[in-house]
Amino acid sequence: MAALEGKVAVITGSTSGIGARTAERFVAEGARVVIAGRRKDRGEKLAQKLGDHASFIQTDVSVEADVEAMIHHAVKRFGRLDCLVNNAGRGSQFATIADADLEEFDAVIAVHLRAVLAGMKYAARAMAAQGSGSIITVASVNGIHAGLGGHYYSAAKAASIHLTRCAAMELGEKGIRVNSISPGMTATGAFGKYGGVTADEADDHPEYAEAAIGAVMSRWQPLLSVARADDIAHAAVFLASDASRMITGHNLVVDGGISAGWPIGAVRSDRELFFRKFQEARSA
């Protein structure tokens, strides 16, 4: 049997990147999915490609009424809700603390934290009535490892990881599992979109980001392959499936090892320098 046979999932931010690939994987594993995002043309195109197993609803996750309507749409169209993937995301400025723009901070929090809570709120109501469900939030390695992402984004992702744990503690007794996935740098249109490329061009060419990530990652990431949307989608399939039935309150890191420590390639020359200086001091 396919991993998600008979399950119904809502995936936010599934008009591109990780969300779109997750929608494709979920359908391939037997699920029916609601594709949610702001761009109608892309959402409808993906839903059409996936056929009867998919339905698009235009959603701005920073608007609570949209999130409520999105969850209701899933239950009305497919009869139940087994999984919510809170995946919608946006970039943010690399502002210094002294130059922090608090309106931009609020806008980042609205999508990466407030919307996650809104999704949990309405999904938990639908799932509690069934006595089962899996809520997955796509957080980030920046939520556990400082210095690579912008301050607002990193703080919002850290909070979403902790909100996941808090929600897991409350919702366990209702049969609802709550987990997060923390991707490392993953080749999607996200980088281009916030680097001045049009959204469509960036989303249709993840290979631009793949080449750029490949050029810089060896200082941070021990595995020397660039992560793709598919790598994160596989993790989401696992957390949505019954194979993970005893996993809740967990942050599943899919980062090629970024958060585990310093890659040997980055510290090799420092180690050589250390021992050379040690011997020089000894023989001085």
Ligand X SMILES: NC(=O)c1ccc[n+]([C@@H]2O[C@H](COP(=O)([O-])OP(=O)(O)OC[C@H]3O[C@@H](n4cnc5c(N)ncnc54)[C@H](OP(=O)(O)O)[C@@H]3O)[C@@H](O)[C@H]2O)c1
List residues near ligand X by CB under 6 A.
12-13, 15-19, 37-39, 59-62, 87-90, 111, 138, 140, 183, 185-186, 188-190, 193, 203
What distance in Å separates the CA atoms of residue 72 and residue 104, rounded to the nearest whole number?
Answer: 30
- Our CB check for ligand X shows the closer of 13 and 263 to be 13
**CB 132, min distance to ligand X, A:** 25
What distance in Å separates the CA atoms of residue 23 and residue 183, rounded to the nearest whole number?
Answer: 17
Q: What is the CA radius of gyration of the chain?
A: 20
**CB 58, min distance to ligand X, A:** 9
Annotation marks residue 208 as catalytic: no
- Our CB check for ligand X shows the closer of 226 and 269 to be 226
Catalytic residue chosen out of the listed positions 122, 152, 153, 194 = 153
- Our CB check for ligand X shows the closer of 204 and 242 to be 204
Beta-bridged to residue 55, according to DSSP, are 34
Residues 6+ apart with CB under 8 A from 132: 82, 175, 176
**CB 191, min distance to ligand X, A:** 7
**Residues 170 and 155 sit within 8 Å (Cβ to Cβ):** no
- Our CB check for ligand X shows the closer of 38 and 80 to be 38
**CB 17, min distance to ligand X, A:** 2
Give the residue numbers annotated as catalytic, written as ranges. Answer: 153
